[in-house]
Amino acid sequence: MTKNGVPPRGISRRNMLAATGSAAAGWMLLQDAVGAENPAIQVADRASSIRITAFKTYPVGNKTLLKIETNQKVSGWGEISQLPPTVVGPLMQSMYEMLDGENPTRIEHLWQKLYRAHRDFRGGAFMLHTIAGIDMALWDITGKLHGVPVYRLLGGPTREKIRVYPTPKAYKVPAGGPKPASASPRDIEGYIQNIKAARERVGKDGAVMFDAHCCLPPPFLIQLANAIESYDVLWIEEPAVPGNIEVFKRIKQAVKVPIATGERDRTIWDVIPYLQERCVDIIQHDCAHGGGITQMKKVAVLAETYFVPLAPHSVASFLGIAASFHVTASIPLFLIHEFYVNDCAGTLHKSWEVDKNGDSSLPQGPGLGVEVDEAALAKMPPSKFKWPGGKNPDGSVADY
């Protein structure tokens, strides 16, 4: 008997079966059947020899589009969102030391390698936003290698369309900037009128949301929330600055309107206190802020165990939106998705459409399903980033 159970030349299969007995004969027949009926045995792993060879970044406004290249001429795109482009370039160059020569299809391994690389940097916003762009690009590469949309690799679609806002049937009322600690009757009346107008605009079958944007202190927010109950607001978004779960518990106890948050809570470790303390009703994870597709899928599973749906936050370009859409397509508990048209000055071409009812089709084609005009990107003017610098009416620094 030679290696892999193949008999040497000159010995027939029949003679071998007679000599080895019934048990061995049965084993050999099973191997024959497996080899004949299982095509996977005959197929080499196309991803086994692929390696990351280079990256490129293209700053566009407050976003940086990222391209990861491989030795098999398959490239992937992602978005590093809401960071100063002057910071993203050097940070990406440094982090690339951990990616160079790696297999891009080992997505979970590379996510862990990047996130846990340095004990003093773990979990920071700049780190997570950058990992998000890398993660999107790796999933884009893997989807292209397999010739399928990313959501097929995440378990397949659980829905045929994705409800989005803003649309004629779904509108979010903004906070309008920082406010003092408590509300005056005039302040309350102004918000009531805005929410009432939104309800009239979308109708009884539409959705009205209110975005507190972390800029209404708890006393102000509680006064307002109790005054708008009758308008059936779908949620109050970001009722407080993340970081102190006791504030969220206090607000939840005093407010009957559903509470939504999560765009600045970037990982499963940030999200779990809200769920354990039962102080939010909706999770608004942001794929481009929170470590990309890999982490967003985990947040969705964690929220599912508490029967809390996702209503993903997004101010991303078509690349970041596509990544978030792929996760949304694959999860069971979903409410509505934020979506603003942002093709980065005509350089990105999406593969989905939003119909008159406010429902988006699923991304099409392999990978993320976004075509990038790289030549046009290279001609974009230098990006400018401006720090917000929120202030209260009295000139003091505000959360906004």
Tell me the per-residue pLDDT of 294-353, one tens digit each, with 9 for 90 and over.
Answer: 999 999 999 999 999 999 999 999 999 999 999 999 999 999 999 999 999 999 999 999
- Percent helix, strand and coil across the chain, each rounded to 5? 40, 15, 45
pLDDT score of 357: 94
Instruction: Taking the CA atoms of 267, 269, 275 and 279 in sequence, report the sign of the dihedral they define.
Output: negative
Exposed / middle / buried, residue 272 (Cβ in 10 Å: 0-12, 13-18, 19+): middle
Q: Which fold has domain 153-378?
A: TIM Barrel (3.20.20)
CB-based contact 251:227 (threshold 8 Å): no
Strand 162-165: give its sheet, edge to edge: 337-338, 162-165, 359-360
Backbone φ/ψ region at 21: left (φ over 0), alpha (ψ -120 to 50), beta: left
The CATH H-level superfamily of 52-149 is Enolase-like, N-terminal domain (3.30.390.10)
pLDDT score of 288: 97
**Would you call 58 helix, strand, or coil by DSSP?**
strand
pLDDT score of 160: 97
Angle subtended at Cα 328 by Cα 128 and Cα 281, rounded to the nearest 5 degrees: 80
The packing angle between helices 125-146 and 318-330, to 10°, is: 70
- Segments in the chain below pLDDT 70: 1-47
What is the token pair recorded at 312? 């993903």
pLDDT score of 44: 55
Give, in order, the Cα–Cα distances in Å from 297 to each of 40, 82, 223, 331, 342. 28, 21, 36, 8, 23
Distance in angstroms (rounded) separating the CA atoms of residues 318 and 342: 6
Distance in angstroms (rounded) separating the CA atoms of residues 381 and 391: 30
Distance in angstroms (rounded) separating the CA atoms of residues 224 and 10: 90
Across-strand partners of 282? Answer: 260
Residue identified by tokens 């994705």 is 162
pLDDT score of 46: 64
Angle subtended at Cα 318 by Cα 316 and Cα 323, rounded to the nearest 5 degrees: 80
Q: Report domain extents, the chain.
A: 3-42, 52-149, 153-378
